[in-house]
Structure 1
Amino acid sequence: MPSAPQRKGARTEAQRARAPESQEDVHMLSDEDMEGGFEDLEADEDEGGFEDVEADADDADETADAPSKARAPPSGASHYSLPSNEEIHGLKETGDLYMNNVFKLQLDEMLQHVRPRMDRAKPLEQTLRKLQKLFESLPEIEMQPLSAATKALERIVGHAVEVPWADPAPRGDPAYAIGFARPSALHLIGSWPLKAAARRPGAMDVDMQVCMPSSLFQEKDTMNARYFTKRAFYLAVLAELLRRDSSLHLDVDYLDLYDDRRCACLVLRPQPEAEWASLHTVIRVHVAHEFGTFPVQRLAPDRNSLRGALVGATEGAELPPTPLYNACILADSLRLAHFVYLNATAEMCAAFAEACQLLKTWATQRGFGTLHLFGQDAKKHAARRVVAGTDDARFVLSMLLAHLLHGEPKGSASRHKLAPGLSSVQLFRGALDYLSKQSFATPVYMKAQPRFGLAPSIIPPTAFAASERALVDPSGSLNLLAHWPASSVDLLQREAAQTMRMLNDSDDHFATLFLTPQSMPARRFDEVVLCHVRDDTADVVRRLDAGGARAWGVRRALDVAARALGQRAQGLAVCAAPSQAYAPGAVPTPSLHMELGLVLDADHAWHQVEHGPPPESPDAASFRAFWGDVAELRRFRDGRVLESVVWPVASLAQRYALPRHVVRHAFVHHGIAKKVRCMGEGFAGLVDMTPSLSQRAYLKDPAVHGFQLVQAAYDQLVRELRAMDELPLSVMGVAPVAPALRSMSPLVPGPLHLAELGGQVPDVAAYLPVQGLLLTMESSGQWPDDLAAIQEMKTALYERMAEVLMKRLPGSLARVVYDNDATTGETIKDQTALHLTLATGFAFSLRIHHDREQTLLERLLRDKSTHAVGTHALQRYHARFTYAPAHHAALQALQDRHPALGMTVRLVRRWFASQLLSPHVPVEAMELLCVAVFVTNAHAAPVTGVHGLVRVLHLLAHWDWRETPLLIPLENATRLAHQRKAALSDEGSTLPTEAAPSFPAAQRADAEQQFSAQRARDPALKHHAWVLATEMDIGSKAWTRDAPSAMVADGVRQLALRAVRMLEKDVPTRLAHIRGLFAPAYDAYDFVIHIRPSVHMRYAEALAPDAAAWLQPRKKRSYANLEDAPLRPSVYGSEPRAGLDPVGEYVQLLQGLYPHTFTLFYDELGGTAIGGLWNKTLGKPHAFKVLLGHSTAPHTKGVVLNRAAILAEVQRLGHGLVDRVEAS
């Protein structure tokens, strides 16, 4: 809670922020304006009728409202005088209330766009007056049988009428009369008269309530849908008579709130010629009955209102309660009282309306609350989803805020409340803080307000005990969360908790809070399940209580999924496109399509065994019935005998698919759906080798064993290195620096079958990746103090090490190798390594780190003659020996903390490679991008690789890299990961509070300052297009100094934006969708070099390799299945070549020969096409000069680039490797 000084400041800020409204706005639609139309709802209210909810608030009000003494304007000589006390107080308010100045400015700017234009509402007011006059003059239909009443309506309107009946629809003429009478009252309700309406995607709504006369009803109409039949007929009469009046210029539609026809309303849209069409607003007409028409106790949530033959029950049968059915009837009678309650709250609290606008905007962006999308808006926002049952979320949040302002009922254990003098931001924070911490599993009761018609009802509190989640309104009779599935409430609370973490963070999360839609399932959930729910009619009472086939199917699906997943899921929710309005006579069939989003728990999602009760337990039968034939009785090692379910897992991919498998089994077993599709299935296999090739190439299947095989080979090698005593210097330390050794290589490296190279192992699978290691030797005076001599000593150590290791590791092969860019003139650089191929089928690259090199290289920078050479050598030294091991250690710790990080990196690298960006984006930069979506407060860390991939694509699509650095708290994240790991290893300690790491404030300022300086020095963005700043590398010098270029960075953003739009358009579950995400656009290149797949040593890593690349064409046989087609003859032979990638070497060769002529793009993961873009400046005629650096052809104005000759040379250099070169 805010302190007293903060509350005083809040009152002043709230009064200052609330703009004075014109007298016309204040009295809009009053009795005088409406000529006796809408009732003056506040006429009988007592002035100051609210209790003093906080004792010290009065003093705060007096202080805040006291007029301050005006300060004389400064003279010309005092322009730079010290600020006044009032100015200092204002600055302090900004810091206390809004966290920082930028947040306040952003908030003010947003609210200008969120508030509706009340000055343009006069035509709307005139339409409301016309509606009032129309409703007062409607023809009546006397009470009569249904068929006769319908015919009477048809005679009035002159055409057949189709009434959208609620389920169950009446059959024939029911045994009660139906008619129509003029409304007993009209009320303008909702957020529009409260001045709390908030603009949102689609149209805003102005709510009008039409009260049905009590004479139309009988006390027993609450039973067996009689009320809803009469309600539907009344609404149909209104719709038909409104349609008949063309002078209104309105299109009349129905809208089923909550997808429940019992809650249908009319939506009146202005036709293009209407004067208020530009307001982007619709009028919603709700029908209601007078409070007290039906006994409230009959509509308690623990009472049953569906009985007898309607539900197939015998007389006296015990039936379950119908809480939703009862709540629908009660809600129709309480809208007006709730509006009066909210209106009085707005008068009590100056910032209430603005706080409601903030809450509504926040909720809408997260998919809570219905949307009115018509025409182009429906297409523009087709990707938006609404969480099931939350159509009234904006109203519920307003009531919740009012509840906090009025305080808890007397006698409540915890009296949460907010002071009326708080600012809108403080109210917003207070509401979300309460929402994130309060459990609604135990009913929460709002304080009774008798003066507003919300007196305590006679319904006992125990009636709400069976409600999954309950927020009971001030009348004590209506659960405001009745239509909300428990999972939807829980998701709202999760979002509130996540928002509080953002508000408490120093990062700028304003866009994420209010501007960026967060409702797309692929970006919101770890897994998305799609299916068509089946209409189950077995439990008639509960089906009718839910409101129909769809609502019942959704609730059944949520219940079954929640029980089946158990601890595997932290949350789940059904999302759907916003409910669509429909025209009279075009009543749609409810859609049974369902999107179920799962928020998984990383600690439990992948457990293979479901532990049930002992066989003698009363719950054992229920366990077996729920799981069906997969349940079995098992004895465990600790001696327990339990009912259990053991899910078969043969590979890592199957383990990661367990949540999908569990949900699919439960849905099929319980008849929820026949066919279930999941988002993660479409991405399965993207980072796995084709099984037939894997069986040929590897001694053991890496898909089964994962990274354990390469890790075991690494551990064995480290033991041998540490045990070597034949070297002049001992190995003191070994540090891994390879993606595979941190579980982040795109494909899992397998033990290559070296003995079958050139034979059973085809050339397309002969690539042997090299895993990098850094060796630290013991300190000794034997090291020379000269850079060139140090490199020579390293080479000598490599040679000696090769001899020793080949003896110690029989069957291994060791070679001293030079880097591809090594030259004889740069002897001071580190450019040699030892490649070691083990008999187990793995290869390692060993480099020796000598810390004296850094000191000697830094000395070269002092001399101008050696500065350039020393700078280049020092950059390489830091990249290899400083940044690389620190980066590896940090990511290994984060991989242990977030198991999905590794799969996210693998999928992201596959995506970058598929877009032919392999040579242009460093691996470490991709990994840091992935880390960024795991260590942020903007959202929870992904638990699946697919969710991580979608998050990274969204980051790339919306990150303004030209203007903003990406700050990644890598060291803080690593520290928290180590603390958590230590706590887990210590059984007595408690886990630290889960919180995303933050970037230190001082280093943040330094990073932003360096970024601004970089952009000022390099406006052309020749370096540091991406700035990925960490605490260790504030200037982003380690990985993104030279790559990607500005051209590539801009291309990445466009490609990511295209991918995000594809994901938002449809949840990807089919292979065709996934292939579209990973398909390169070859037509964007000036020329394309096609590689022969049969000689591509990494072709087996491609997304969809063609078997014709390694198998010879099959001859025609009578029984073709008796013998496999033979392999193609080997080109590379039987000798293992660690790290050899002919296509990669070819690309490096071409780029080195033509550095300024063209830029090449290719997929390092088995891609068979290399895209090229010409340097556009060389395509123009230019003067000839010696050593131009490229082939030229004569031109009338000089020479031009000879593209044909260059491409011919490109094909000649790739002889045997290149199939053809195509120029656009």
Structure 2
Amino acid sequence: MVGACSFRYLGSRSFLFANSKLWTRGLFLQKQGEIKILKEDRMLYKELFPVVLFDSTTHINLTFRIKDSGFSELQNEASLTLQCFGKSGDSAFEDIFMTKIDFAAKYDYCVRLNLKGNSEFYSSGYCLDEECWRLYEKKVHSLLSQGLNDRAKSIRVIWRNIPSCCSLENGLSTLDGEPLLAGISLSSLDKAFRVVDIGPDAEKKEEATRFRKFWGEKAELRRFKDGKIAESTVWESEQWMKHLILKRIVEYILLRHLSITKNSIEQTVDQLDFSLLHGVQDPMSFSASLLGAFDVLSKRLRLIEDIPLKVSSVQPLDPAFRFTSVFPPEPHPLASEKGNVPRLHKLTSSCIQPLEVMIQLEGSGNWPMDDVAIEKTKSAFLLKIGESLENSWGMTCTATEDDVDVFQSGYAFRLKILHERGLSLVKREIGSDQGKRVSSADQKLFVHSQHSSMINGLQGVFPIYGPVVRLAKRWVASHMFSACLSEEAIELLVAHLFVKPLPFTVPCSRITGFLRFLRLLAEYDWTFSPLIVDINSDFNAGDKKEIYDKFMLTRKGYEESSQNISPAMFLATSYDKASEAWTRLSPNILELKRLVAYARSSANLLTRLVFQDQTESYRWECLFCTPLTNYDAVILLHGDRLPYPQRLLFPSKLNHGRLVAHGNASKAFQPFMLPGDLRGSLDKLKNKLLVDFDPLKCYIADLQKECNTLKLWYDSLGGDAVGLTWERSCSKKRDREEASDAEDPIDVLKAVGEAGKGFVKSVHFLKAPRLMN
């Protein structure tokens, strides 16, 4: 146990390393009464060593092996420790001493150089304190520092030249077997993703010559907008590929200045990008057109005059607008204003994703008081709004009993209204008696609007936040936890890593942020600690006490049974201090345990991949592969009958268990329009578009109604399998009573297959219910 005195001692030592100016002159430790060291000797030590901590009793500089870069990193770590003291509060001890800090989680980019048998390495020779591998470390560090310049905040280069399993009996033959490892922390994303690096002015001949010698054919003379003519390097890149700029720079520098091959350089940068691609392109490349379409819609909604109450505000709610959707929709060629039928040169999807948009109207005292009447009135307003958009701008409006969708510039926008009475009541507090009088639709809309506003602000500060969330959502779905952890809960978990990164700095790369997400899931004490996500620093001491009081109420029954914990994952935000919005019902305690186990396994695998051989892509793909044998039964679906077959990562295969049912694919639904479907006017073709159609969602809903003995696990983003586990009650007596009346599990699974006829490919029985073993 570290006491208060020990903490104060640690704080003073951290302050000494982080802030003391004595290091510029060197620290010389002498006993009282000893003759002072001459100024000339002090200056000599400073010339010989980058860091001086001189011990007069031994006449040795205790820091003779520390390099400038190493000491700079030590100072940075000391500064982070001081921040932990000031910002982490009660969790300072855990942040400083209990958090695993390694290359994989600490640095934004990791580079591995395989130098076995490299002749250049041996040519540096040996000398007393500077072994050849330390000289090579210094050389690589110098190259990276010069090439990356202000893009990098810190660079760490180490070479563990003796493997941990090395035996001295084998001699020195394994000294170069381990790869050299370089970790790079970025200064900021604006600098790291910069396309042009400006070098010295053309008039400065010596500097320009050195610049060209270092960069070779990448150096070019350019005239800039301010009239300046200077040397420069240019790294042209698509917006959605800018995270690869640093990888290209590092690779170019090392290949140019070191005698190594391209295969010897392994960088942890883009190995997981495959999971976010829609076909061969990241759908985030369509974000600009999506935002442009929304702006047009928003302006047109505000201009509508022929409705009793004018539109006062329009707010986008879908994750695609805040750049956290794994697959934001690309513009559909048929979802546009009136015109000619476009020529289609590729497969056209039959389905289109709707994007939810919230509307608020001007205030009025004429709203009805009955909840049902309110919803009917809102529907009437939406229909009138859609009619006005059609008449004024030729936009297509489709209406159902529950929703009104508007086609605009290739997108389908689903309009929702939050009325003023609902807004005034729900703002008081979600869990209050008055808040409960609000219709569930208004409550849901309000919470979504608050969440969306908060995340939008976060995305503006941390551009890498979106890609990390997308990876996290893809991982959760690929391991069939779509029903357990909502998209909003995942966004809050990742947000916590950015607003409270200590003892690290804010993550600036996808893989580093993703690894920290996995470790948060795996290592956080969900049973006894609420996770407070304070994005805008809104909470004071009173708010935190209120949150802890609400949290303790949910844990009162823990001593009687751990199954009484609800919610199992407590996420507190400024708009939801009682964790009622996203985790009230799921994950439950058993789902959370499974989720934690999967996160721990994936985090360990990802860490090993960063340190070990990374060239084989299938090893990275394992992070998104879930073992089907972990379920009691498995349903395999026809992948070519999913609404977006191209989103399927890996077709599911199962060679275990008993085949209970199988069936052929139905021809009633095709995910892509056939050539014969593209005949007729544009209006007729629009009627063939399936808005928000997902056969998996429909099938899951049917199974949940009919099969209460089965727990369903599935991937909502594009999986072709559904895992089944037998539900068990908490009471053994009830288990025995139910077992005597239970249906044959084979009959249950046959019914499951029959319910999905035309969509279900096969049903496999792997394990019987526990009481039947």
Task: Give the TM-score of the pair, scaled to structure 2.
Answer: 0.85
Structure 2 partner of 1:885:
449
Matched, 1:444 2:23: no
Q: AA paired with 2:584?
A: R
Tell me, which stretches of 5 or more residues in structure 2 are unaligned? Answer: 336-340, 653-671, 679-684, 767-773
Structure 2 partner of 1:529:
111
Tell me, which stretches of 5 or more residues in structure 1 are unaligned? Answer: 1-105, 109-421, 695-700, 819-831, 976-998, 1107-1126, 1189-1196
Alignment deviations for residues 639-693 of structure 1 (CA, whole Å, 9 cap, x no partner): 111100001213412x1111111111111110164231111221123211122xx
SS in 1 for 2:444: helix
* 1:576, distance to aligned residue in structure 2 (A): 5.2
Equivalent-residue separation in structure 1 for 2:427 and 2:156 (angstroms): 58
Structure 2 partner of 1:1217:
759
Alignment deviations for residues 156-185 of structure 1 (CA, whole Å, 9 cap, x no partner): xxxxxxxxxxxxxxxxxxxxxxxxxxxxxx
- Equivalent positions of 1:350-369 (< 5 A) are none
Alignment deviations for residues 80-135 of structure 1 (CA, whole Å, 9 cap, x no partner): xxxxxxxxxxxxxxxxxxxxxxxxxx415xxxxxxxxxxxxxxxxxxxxxxxxxxx
Give the direction of change, closer, same or farther, for the CA distance of 1:576–1:805 in structure 2 (3 Å limit): farther
Matched, 1:634 2:242: no
Give the direction of change, closer, same or farther, for the CA distance of 1:778–1:1173 in structure 2 (3 Å limit): same
* 1:632, distance to aligned residue in structure 2 (A): 0.6
- Equivalent positions of 1:76-91 (< 5 A) are none
Structure 2 partner of 1:968:
533
Q: AA paired with 2:182?
A: L
* 1:1103, distance to aligned residue in structure 2 (A): 2.5
Q: AA paired with 1:1220?
A: S
SS in 2 for 1:707: helix
Structure 1 partner of 2:462:
898
Give the direction of change, closer, same or farther, for the CA distance of 1:757–1:1091 in structure 2 (3 Å limit): farther
Of the three residues 648, 666, 686, the one matched with 1:1102 is 648
Give the direction of change, closer, same or farther, for the CA distance of 1:1073–1:461 in structure 2 (3 Å limit): same
Structure 2 partner of 1:593:
179
Q: AA paired with 1:107?
A: V
Equivalent-residue separation in structure 2 for 1:632 and 1:441 (angstroms): 40
Of the three residues 817, 840, 844, the one matched with 2:413 is 844
Matched, 1:1176 2:728: yes
Structure 1 partner of 2:168:
583
- Equivalent positions of 1:774-1173 (< 5 A) are 774-810=358-394, 812-818=395-401, 832-838=402-408, 840-853=409-422, 871=436, 874-881=439-446, 883-936=447-500, 937-972=502-537, 999-1017=539-557, 1019=561, 1020-1021=563-564, 1023-1067=566-610, 1069-1070=614-615, 1071-1104=617-650, 1129=674, 1135-1154=688-707, 1156-1173=708-725
Give the direction of change, closer, same or farther, for the CA distance of 1:758–1:1143 in structure 2 (3 Å limit): farther
SS in 2 for 1:518: coil
* 1:768, distance to aligned residue in structure 2 (A): 2.0
Structure 1 partner of 2:664:
none
Structure 2 partner of 1:607:
194
* 1:527, distance to aligned residue in structure 2 (A): 1.2
Q: AA paired with 2:411?
A: F
Give the direction of change, closer, same or farther, for the CA distance of 1:872–1:779 in structure 2 (3 Å limit): closer
Structure 2 partner of 1:754:
334
Give the direction of change, closer, same or farther, for the CA distance of 1:493–1:1042 in structure 2 (3 Å limit): same
Question: Is the 8 Å Cα contact of residues 440 and 471 (structure 1) preserved in structure 2?
Answer: no
Equivalent-residue separation in structure 2 for 1:919 and 1:862 (angstroms): 23
Question: Is the 8 Å Cα contact of residues 744 and 905 (structure 1) preserved in structure 2?
Answer: yes
Equivalent-residue separation in structure 2 for 1:1045 and 1:685 (angstroms): 31
Structure 2 partner of 1:652:
240
Equivalent-residue separation in structure 1 for 2:194 and 2:243 (angstroms): 10
Give the direction of change, closer, same or farther, for the CA distance of 1:453–1:555 in structure 2 (3 Å limit): farther
Matched, 1:499 2:81: yes
Question: Is the 8 Å Cα contact of residues 722 and 732 (structure 1) preserved in structure 2?
Answer: yes
Question: Is the 8 Å Cα contact of residues 633 and 765 (structure 2) preserved in structure 1?
Answer: yes
Equivalent-residue separation in structure 2 for 1:658 and 1:690 (angstroms): 22
Matched, 1:676 2:265: yes
Structure 2 partner of 1:165:
none
* 1:1017, distance to aligned residue in structure 2 (A): 4.9
Give the direction of change, closer, same or farther, for the CA distance of 1:853–1:575 in structure 2 (3 Å limit): same
Alignment deviations for residues 1142-1188 of structure 1 (CA, whole Å, 9 cap, x no partner): 2122212222333x221111111211111111213499998999xx9
* 1:842, distance to aligned residue in structure 2 (A): 1.1
* 1:761, distance to aligned residue in structure 2 (A): 5.2
Structure 2 partner of 1:489:
71
Alignment deviations for residues 259-304 of structure 1 (CA, whole Å, 9 cap, x no partner): xxxxxxxxxxxxxxxxxxxxxxxxxxxxxxxxxxxxxxxxxxxxxx
Mean Cα deviation higher: 720-729 or 546-555: 546-555
Q: AA paired with 1:802?
A: G
- Equivalent positions of 1:404-415 (< 5 A) are none
Matched, 1:724 2:321: no
SS in 2 for 1:681: coil
SS in 1 for 2:398: strand
SS in 1 for 2:276: coil
Give the direction of change, closer, same or farther, for the CA distance of 1:745–1:538 in structure 2 (3 Å limit): closer
Give the paired residue count: 719
Equivalent-residue separation in structure 2 for 1:1053 and 1:577 (angstroms): 32
Give the direction of change, closer, same or farther, for the CA distance of 1:484–1:808 in structure 2 (3 Å limit): farther
Alignment deviations for residues 586-635 of structure 1 (CA, whole Å, 9 cap, x no partner): 23442251111111122311101111001221210111111111111111
Structure 2 partner of 1:107:
2
Q: AA paired with 1:464?
A: K
Matched, 1:427 2:427: no
Give the direction of change, closer, same or farther, for the CA distance of 1:1086–1:585 in structure 2 (3 Å limit): closer
Give the direction of change, closer, same or farther, for the CA distance of 1:862–1:443 in structure 2 (3 Å limit): closer
Equivalent-residue separation in structure 2 for 1:1179 and 1:1209 (angstroms): 27
Q: AA paired with 1:679?
A: T
Structure 1 partner of 2:659:
none
Equivalent-residue separation in structure 1 for 2:274 and 2:587 (angstroms): 28
Give the direction of change, closer, same or farther, for the CA distance of 1:1210–1:1055 in structure 2 (3 Å limit): same
Alignment deviations for residues 1107-1155 of structure 1 (CA, whole Å, 9 cap, x no partner): xxxxxxxxxxxxxxxxxxxx8958998522222222122212222333x
* 1:479, distance to aligned residue in structure 2 (A): 4.4
Question: Is the 8 Å Cα contact of residues 954 and 1057 (structure 1) preserved in structure 2?
Answer: yes
Question: Is the 8 Å Cα contact of residues 51 and 63 (structure 2) preserved in structure 1?
Answer: yes
SS in 1 for 2:381: helix
Equivalent-residue separation in structure 1 for 2:160 and 2:225 (angstroms): 49
Q: AA paired with 1:683?
A: L
* 1:1061, distance to aligned residue in structure 2 (A): 1.6
Equivalent-residue separation in structure 2 for 1:1164 and 1:486 (angstroms): 50
Equivalent-residue separation in structure 2 for 1:1174 and 1:940 (angstroms): 44
* 1:1220, distance to aligned residue in structure 2 (A): 1.3
Matched, 1:687 2:276: yes
Question: Is the 8 Å Cα contact of residues 193 and 246 (structure 2) preserved in structure 1?
Answer: yes
Alignment deviations for residues 899-954 of structure 1 (CA, whole Å, 9 cap, x no partner): 11111111100110111111221111101100111111332111112211111111
* 1:1011, distance to aligned residue in structure 2 (A): 1.0
**Pairwise CA RMSD of aligned residues?**
3.6
* 1:456, distance to aligned residue in structure 2 (A): 5.3
SS in 2 for 1:775: strand
SS in 2 for 1:495: helix
SS in 2 for 1:507: helix
Give the direction of change, closer, same or farther, for the CA distance of 1:586–1:856 in structure 2 (3 Å limit): closer
With a CA cutoff of 8 Å and minimum separation of 6, indicate the structure with the bigger relative contact order: 2
SS in 2 for 1:509: helix
Question: Is the 8 Å Cα contact of residues 738 and 772 (structure 1) preserved in structure 2?
Answer: yes
- Equivalent positions of 1:104-183 (< 5 A) are 106-107=1-2
* 1:723, distance to aligned residue in structure 2 (A): 1.1
SS in 2 for 1:500: helix
